[in-house]
Chain A
């Protein structure tokens, strides 16, 4: 539904987006993950034709979005960053105006407005003035706008930014509900958001694509997993016991209490798989120690970046697939 190839944006000497390539299949919800300032919004603006790319190609449903932007724009609904709306209008008026811009006739527009108000869960605020709505409602009016023409592709720029946890859950549920029906490309800087809503994730950092793949795998970290272990005994005893476990690496240890009351909490890395876990357990028991808790440690975004940009380049797609075209003047 959406194919991006070697997309590049250069501002003077600064490369804001550096040859990124990916695709979003029909029915897939794909996350676009990166820290603030990574070039997410710039990328979305190039896809939607608001910014002209320096190089690269964008195809929406087979239409070249750079050569035929008007045609391509009929195929997607876009919610820009910060959800800009006309604050002096009522929600329904605003959506009717947007429907007209998107080429819906008067009758079609009325139906489309009612349907998308319902879909985005803002039907109860339809006759209120947009500027007086809460941020969560405004966000959903923006979403209703993107849904007006029932497009096969939705492009959403940070749809949950600035919302409270309840509103975030509602928006995420809404996005999940499109799975299998629409292609969704949604940007975010929050890792759990991707895990909660997306089938696939494209990761960008400082304008470069650093990874692409299954969000749960990314968070788990590929070949090794991180665990937190709590058990009775001194930190030194645990270190000695784990020295014999293949591939185990202790990243941090904390000791509470003293003598026979001592309890240690370890952060460690271990290769994935039952064999490693069995070995860990056996080593601890053999040393006369115990395990009171053993839990996986979720990575945060920085960890993902660290692992992607250093050790784990297996899933990195940017380097081999990027084929930047000639530069525009």
Chain B
């Protein structure tokens, strides 16, 4: 456990010492702020919301403005975790200490999850502000954040796997973007398919998941999906660390 914490702490320090952290977090807040402003204006005009019955529920995964930036930011946040060390050669120094590949992946994953949480903490202000002027369902908000954390468990593990497989950070970002982007689009395809295919695709669709969470519905099937996906991805990442491309 000690090496895991050492790796975790170093990773966080390096991340918050780099401009990437601040650029991503500020850009994300800017986009969230704009989209929440648009959603509030939409509700203020008294228009029908078609399913989502309050601004917060619509904000949490109800619009494409929420998902598109995430599909870009997750690969950027996770790309340095292992690919950065591989590209700079520090992976060799790391893996020739008495540390196991599992400990390395665990430390890096915890760091990735922490970045994810750092993205979301500032959005609590939206909840606070909304509560000043209207009704906020605390259960629905709690369920929304639980869902967000679950998606983080899923996305960060996918990004870490991309980072474990890639020789450089750029390759890692592209790999992760294609992977989570493809899964996202598969999820949307549920609207043009039928029967079993539709059910399977809905099960994969983070958009569908989030609209349930945002209504305060905690579907444990989704949580099981996130955790089992992450377990598989992390297992593969540990295996990938043992594999070294020919120079």
Given the known interface contacts A88-B17, A101-B3, A103-B2, the answer about A50 and B89 at a Cβ–Cβ threshold of 8 Å is no
B-chain residues with CB within 8 Å of residue A49 when the two chains form the complex? 95-96
Instruction: Please give me the residue from chain B that is nearest to A105 by CB atom.
Output: B2
B99 within 8 Å of A by Cβ? yes
| Cα–Cα distance between A85 and B100 once the two chains are bound (Å) | 19
B14 within 8 Å of A by Cβ? yes
Which of A70-78, A182-190, A249-257 lines the interface with chain B? Answer: A70-78
1/0 per residue, CB under 8 A from A, across B104-137: the answer is: 0000000000000000000000000000000000
| Cα–Cα distance between A45 and B89 once the two chains are bound (Å) | 12
Given the known interface contacts A73-B97, A102-B97, the answer about A84 and B89 at a Cβ–Cβ threshold of 8 Å is yes
B92 touches A86 (CB 8 A): no
A-chain residues with CB within 8 Å of residue B93 when the two chains form the complex? 78, 80, 84-85, 98, 145
Contact check: which of A11, A50, A74, A100 meets B95 at CB < 8 Å? A50
| Cα–Cα distance between A70 and B3 once the two chains are bound (Å) | 13
Q: How many A-B residue pairs have CB under 8 A?
A: 68
A-chain residues with CB within 8 Å of residue B96 when the two chains form the complex? 48-50, 73, 78, 80
Considering residues B13, B90, B93, which has the most beta carbons from chain A within 10 angstroms of its beta carbon?
B93
Contact check: which of A45, A48, A86, A103 meets B10 at CB < 8 Å? A86
A240 within 8 Å of B by Cβ? no
A82 within 8 Å of B by Cβ? yes
| Cα–Cα distance between A246 and B9 once the two chains are bound (Å) | 72
A100 touches B2 (CB 8 A): yes
Total interface residues on B, CB under 8 Å, equals: 26
A-chain residues with CB within 8 Å of residue B100 when the two chains form the complex? 70
| Cα–Cα distance between A71 and B14 once the two chains are bound (Å) | 29
Contact check: which of B7, B9, B13, B98 meets A103 at CB < 8 Å? B98
| Cα–Cα distance between A51 and B91 once the two chains are bound (Å) | 12
Distance from A9 Cβ to chain B, minimum over Cβ atoms (Å) = 10
A84 touches B88 (CB 8 A): yes
B246 within 8 Å of A by Cβ? yes
Instruction: Please give me the residue from chain A that is nearest to B17 by CB atom.
Output: A88
Where chain B touches its partner, the secondary structure class is helix
A50 touches B3 (CB 8 A): no
1/0 per residue, CB under 8 A from B, across A47-85: the answer is: 011111000000000000000001101100010111011
Distance from B122 Cβ to chain A, minimum over Cβ atoms (Å) = 24
B244 within 8 Å of A by Cβ? yes
A-chain residues with CB within 8 Å of residue B3 when the two chains form the complex? 100-101, 103
A97 within 8 Å of B by Cβ? yes
In the complex, which residues 197-232 of chain B have their Cβ closer than 8 Å to any Cβ of chain A? none
B6 within 8 Å of A by Cβ? yes
Q: Which residues of A contact B (CB under 8 A)?
A: 11-12, 45, 48-52, 70-71, 73-74, 78, 80-82, 84-89, 97-98, 100-103, 145
Sorted nearest first, the 9 A-B pairs with minimum C-beta distance are: A84-B89, A100-B6, A48-B96, A84-B90, A101-B97, A73-B98, A80-B92, A78-B96, A88-B17
Given A82-B89, A84-B93, 9 other A-B contacts at CB below 8 A? A12-B246, A73-B96, A80-B89, A80-B92, A81-B89, A84-B92, A85-B93, A88-B17, A100-B3
User: Can you list 29 A-B contacts with CB-CB less than 8 angstroms, sorted by A residue number?
Assistant: A48-B96, A49-B95, A50-B92, A51-B244, A52-B242, A70-B99, A73-B96, A73-B98, A80-B92, A82-B89, A84-B89, A84-B90, A84-B91, A85-B90, A86-B90, A87-B88, A88-B14, A88-B18, A89-B10, A89-B13, A89-B14, A100-B6, A101-B3, A101-B7, A101-B97, A101-B98, A102-B98, A103-B2, A103-B98
